[in-house]
Amino acid sequence: MKTAILVGTRPEIIKMAPVIRECRKRKIDYFIIHSKQHYSEKLDAIFFSELDLPAPKYNLNVGSGGHANQTGRILIELEPILVSEQPGILLVQGDTNTVVAGALAAHKLHIKVGHIEAGLRSFDQTMPEESNRIIADHISDYLFAVTDLQVDQLKREGLPDSKIFKVGNTIVDALLSHRSQAEKTSQILRVLNLQEKGYYLLTSHRAANVDDPNALIEIIRLVARIPGKVYWPIHYRTQKVLKEAKIDLPPNLIWTEPVGYSDFVKLLSNCIAVITDSGGVQEEACILGVPCVTIRDRTERPETVDVGANVLVHRNAEAMLEALNRPIASWENPFGDGHTAERILDIVTEQEVLPVLQTLD
């Protein structure tokens, strides 16, 4: 079956990479479409070269803009491509505007949609990602859920068992294939003059945390209270507000542009703890055994909290300090065994599917 793979943003490229590599390995007839929701070198091209991905066959060049602009332009640009290529399935991953537009364009043409990372819910309708997830799930034909939590959620929403497949998360596949290489080859700690377990890592780009300068100032104040060096590769959305609002950064903060995957995995593996509002970083910290503090009051990744890997602190400095000082016991990775991409392609090509193991090796 001809398989179309849609990506648009940094996390989609990273999490779709194992699926793309597996398509290549199996000699599946596939092609990549890139919406170019992310287009800056450090949110886009760097991952194609580092993760050894083929160039997309189509670039939709939608770029930045409001929700209607991005979603609408993807729908308009994607439809004729799907009409002329007639893929048997379109695979989308996650909860971005690219995902909802891609799923809708294919669904309207009666092309099957496979939603990877289906069933995640923050139960916070103010997040743009929450409506994207719900809509994408309800118009998809294959719902690739990560854990039992998402399977149960999808069933509660009335989606039929026949569409739901528990497969784990492709982020485990991605981390397993890059962790040791990152450890060996990345020079980022030396470049930034950081010592192993001698710094905290920060990422923040969630609209609710960064679009309002007052919320962003709260995060900066939180960082100033952290007892040690904090390294922050700053997403462009956040950089823009920091610059426009002329927000001063505290002296314990070291910042750079966003970094590539090997450097980020190296930084995450070696930090004391990570403070984040990213979905993917919550998962990766949990998989790598790194304590995580999430500057949100809800998460669509509650597995990370349940195993003790993650604490939700919103933008409350006292709660963050308490969370950073918490005693840490080890936990088991809840996101699968690193064979998720294989399972997804087994299902799409109707082969026998392996059960999901909750251990890494």
Least Å distance, CB 349 to ligand UD1, is: 29
Binding mask 124-143 for ligand UD1 (x = CB under 6 A): ----xx--------------
What three-state secondary structure class fits 23?
A: helix
Least Å distance, CB 29 to ligand UD1, is: 29
**Identity (one letter) of the amino acid at 272?**
I
338 binds ligand UDP (CB under 6 A): no
10 binds ligand UDP (CB under 6 A): yes
8 binds ligand UDP (CB under 6 A): no
Look up residue 95 and give its DSSP letter.
S
- In the residue annotation, 67 being an active-site residue is answered as no
Between the alpha carbon of residue 354 and those of residues 123, 336, 343, the distances in Å are 31, 11, 7
CA–CA gap between residue 189 and residue 169 (Å, rounded): 28
* Residues of span 36-95 touching ligand UDP by CB under 6 A: none
Q: Which of 205, 235, 314, 339 is catalytic?
A: 205
Angle between helices 10-25 and 340-348 (to 10 degrees): 60
Of 1, 19, 92, give the one whose Cα is nearest residue 345: 19
CA–CA gap between residue 201 and residue 276 (Å, rounded): 8
* Residues of span 180-219 touching ligand UDP by CB under 6 A: 203, 205
Q: Considering CB distances under 5 to 8 angstroms, the limit depending on partner class, which of ligand UD1, ligand UDP, none binds residue 128? A: ligand UD1
Binding mask 11-30 for ligand UDP (x = CB under 6 A): x--x----------------
Q: Considering CB distances under 5 to 8 angstroms, the limit depending on partner class, which of ligand UD1, ligand UDP, none binds residue 64? A: ligand UD1
Q: Which is nearer to ligand UD1, 205 or 343 (CB)?
A: 205
Of 360, 340, 335, 262, give the one whose Cα is nearest residue 91: 340
CA–CA gap between residue 283 and residue 309 (Å, rounded): 9
* Residues of span 54-93 touching ligand UD1 by CB under 6 A: 64
Near ligand UDP by CB under 6 A: residue from 114, 280, 291, 336 = 280
Task: Give the number of C-alpha atoms closer than 13 A to the C-alpha of residue 265, restricted to the C-beta side.
Answer: 23
Which H or E run contains 166? Answer: strand 164-166
Of 71, 32, 72, 69, give the one whose Cα is nearest residue 54: 32
User: How are beta strands 200-203 and 164-166 bridged, if at all?
Assistant: unpaired
Q: Which is nearer to ligand UD1, 236 or 331 (CB)?
A: 236
Residue ranges that bind ligand UD1, judged by CB under 6 A: 9-11, 37-40, 43-44, 64, 95-97, 128-129, 205, 236-237, 240
Binding site for ligand UDP (CB under 6 A): 10-11, 14, 203, 205, 233, 258-259, 261, 264, 278-281, 284
